[in-house]
Amino acid sequence: MVAFRPAGEAWRYKKKIMKKAIVVGASSGIGRELAKILLRNQYVVGVMARRVQLLNELRNDAEDNIFVQEIDVMNDELAMEVFAKFIQEMGGIDLIVISAGAGDVNDSLNWCLEKDTIKTNVTGFAALVNVAMHHFTAKGSGHLVGISSVAALRGGSESPAYNASKAFESNYIEGLRQKVRKTRLPITITDIKPGFVNTAMAKGDGIFWSAPADKAAMQIYNAIKRKKAHAYITHRWRLIAWILKLMPASIYERL
């Protein structure tokens, strides 16, 4: 026999079983589009970024179930405190997506640009992942998604720090996946490697196979649903990845 629930009580019950997600770097690009998709798919979503005014615009466009928090991942220790507090305020999280990133074409090797990229994509990324992993370990489950890049596969003359920092991200979460497997906890770790996407991060000449941010975000969401360990976005970038991995250094360095 199914018990009758008044409309208001049924709504509260539905709210209790909704999954909760945090997207770091949701002010623009892939992170923003992914946050929208999660909201449409009945997630309670926390959005975090440095440009909080853009997050507030996202909240104003959403009907419900969205929380906003300013964060600057370049200040790693403060960011860890803010992130941990935000997780606690939301009552625990099922899915965490680290989409915040920095990178510039830097042929002149301007140190300020290199340093900012490293502080964001290496120190900042690892700091937030550390908080996420401690939360999921204590909770006993969870899903961590790192937005890396196809650039992680090889070095890049136009953006040395960016390519190297994305390699760090992919390698770091691979190590954590190996660690989690030994604990047998149901924690999923997904490495997303986008190619060119129509965002502010797509810089330089000769951009090809560039995908709209909403299309890329939908493919990322599908990879999350399938709990994949790795995904190239869009899917055809898997071919480029295969070529990059097999290309001899003597040829690659002439490109």
How far, in Å, CA of 98 to CA of 136, rounded?
A: 14
Number of helical H runs and strand E runs in the chain = 10, 7
Catalytic residue among 162, 172, 221, 232: 162
Active site residue 162: yes
First to last CA, the chain: 69
DSSP 49-72: ES-HHHHHHHHHHS-S-EEEEE--
Instruction: Please state, in angstroms and rounded to a whole number, the distance separating the CA atoms of residues 37 and 94.
Output: 16
What whole-number distance in Å separates Cα of residue 71 and Cα of residue 229? 27
Active-site positions read: 162
